Amino acid sequence: MAVYSAPLRDMKFVYRELFNGDDLQNLPGYGDFSPDVVDAVLEEAAKISQEVLFPLNRSGDEEGCTFENGVVRTPKGFKEAYNQFIAGGWTGLAGDPDYGGQGAPKALNMLVEEMICSSNMSFGMYPGLTHGAYNALELYGTDEQKQLYLPKFIDGTWSGTMCLTEPHCGTDLGLCRTKAELQADGSYNLTGTKIFISAGEHDLTQNIVHLVLARMTDSPAGIRGISLFICPKFLPKDDGTPGARNGASCGSIEHKMGIKASATCVINFDNAKGWLVGEKNKGMRAMFAMMNTARLGVGVQGLGLSEASYQGALLYARERLQGRSLKGAVAPEKPADPLIVHPDVRKNLLTMKALTEGMRALVMWVSTSQDKSEKATTEEERVRHDDLIQFLTPVVKAFGTDIGFDNANLGVQIFGGHGYIREHGMEQYVRDARITQIYEGTNGIQALDLVGRKMTAHYGRYMRAFFHPVQQFIEDNAADPQMEEIVTELAKGFGRLQQAVGQIAQKGMSNPNEAGAGASDLLKLLSYVSVGYMWARMAKLALGKLNDDPTGFYKGKIKTAKFYMHKLMPQTGALLSSIMAGGATIMDLEDELFSAAVAA
């Protein structure tokens, strides 16, 4: 059956030991987050995740959300769990104290988000969307908008959404048709339909605040004519409480493959009253404030599901008796040996472990960089940390969700037929994980973002924020005999990455399709090297702590690092070969020949 216990030992390792997270306490605004406080937050987050959210995961999936007469109801137990969640202050953990938040470091908040995603991803969608809306208003809202909405987001009594997609357009938001007409009082009437709106309607909060992309009547066509508007379900009264119903309503909910306890809605805007957020025709800038936060959050969703899948598979592999070890019986007193003795099962488990723990470290690197960028005292320092965030955001989103889905599949594989049936809960992780590779920009879009924007920005400055520390680590540790085995493999992968970047940059200048054809392979190659760099750093740290290792934690880190380097890093070779082959075979097949066999 599915199980979940928050991996607090590993979380504290990446936060405290690998990235010196306790030093964040010295940054402005983080003084209250001492090591004791951080431990208390993690332990309480583990408690609510394990004891309140996880027990609702399967029942929520079985029941799903219901829609009747425009009203959406979440599954049994969700409202009570949400009330307990907001009573514990979890919706305001990383919020600005000026609006009632606790002001926690983003790195700490990200670990809490991982626990929520592991225990109940559907539940996590509701506060997760609110967090994105909070970020957009904090950056681009007026003082009046901030004072009205941000405290409600932080205390969890109101929630937020992102309303981007329309029936005829998804990624290409320049095709947006939702109209915004200026009114005499300075507000706007919004008319149009948005689809795939996560948490667009539900029964958890007093009000739902939609952030809506729309086009003013005098705005130009395309992406340059898009503005962002705030449109609450209930219009706030003068005292800030919900008032009259606005013209924003749910038309239906989607019947989905996974995350069934999260309401994914069609929202109709029928002369709904809204207010401009930020500047006219600059809506995409504000929306990306939400989207970049959401992309990192979605990567953490993949990480959370990967962890939960690994835990379930590991327990089953230890308990399920099946066959005998190839070298002879390991448990002769039993009718068969446990699954974990078999090499293929062990390889699958180690793959899950190596990718999950490596991605957790990468997320922590990016998260601590967010904190340092936001609290930096100099522009140079702010830019340095932000460059790394920009470059690695596509990696966290795409690779985090790829490993979430792949590891969920490996979990089913380890369970065999018992994984395929619903009883054990493993197949739910596969279904829940699949959407993460699609929303907030498909992983193919992340690859194009890497090649088209992140590699070229500021003459390669974003790239240097990653390349330079990796190169420096290799040079500093190449002569260390204890690290030689690991550094050699990291250097091979890094060399392949450099070669691939050069190939795509050179060919892409003359033929953009060449860059597009190799983009996804390049993103995956970069991802393997990024996680490999994390494993090299973890191994270096663990080697220095073997003399005080009563549980074998650090020994396990070193051995897992070696597995990663020898069994997973070599995939960079195949990815480089594919990139070097160019895009001709992708683009040369005439469109009509895709269906030639069907027509015949």
440 is catalytic: yes
Alpha helix positions (H), 376-460? 379-415, 417-420, 426-434, 443-449
- Using CA atoms, how far residue 336 sits from 246, 345, 349, 570, in Å, is 64, 15, 20, 34
Cα distance between residue 121 and residue 555, in whole Å: 32
**Beta strand pairing call for 226-232 and 158-163:** unpaired
DSSP 1: -
| Token duo for residue 254 | 């989607």
DSSP 589: S
Provide φ and ψ at 483, rounded to 5°: -105, -5
| Token duo for residue 125 | 């969608």
Alpha helix positions (H), 156-254? none
| 73, containing H or E segment | strand 71-73
Half-sphere exposure of residue 373: CA atoms within 13 angstroms, side-chain side: 17
Helix (H, G, I), strand (E, B) or coil at 18: helix
Cα distance between residue 244 and residue 455, in whole Å: 49
Cβ pair 352, 410 in contact under 8 A: yes
| 206, containing H or E segment | none
Cβ pair 211, 89 in contact under 8 A: no
Q: Which of these is catalytic: 114, 440, 489, 514?
A: 440
Cβ pair 196, 439 in contact under 8 A: yes
- The residue type of 299 is G
Contacts of 588 (CB under 8 A, 6+ apart): none
Task: Point out the residues that are catalytic.
Answer: 440
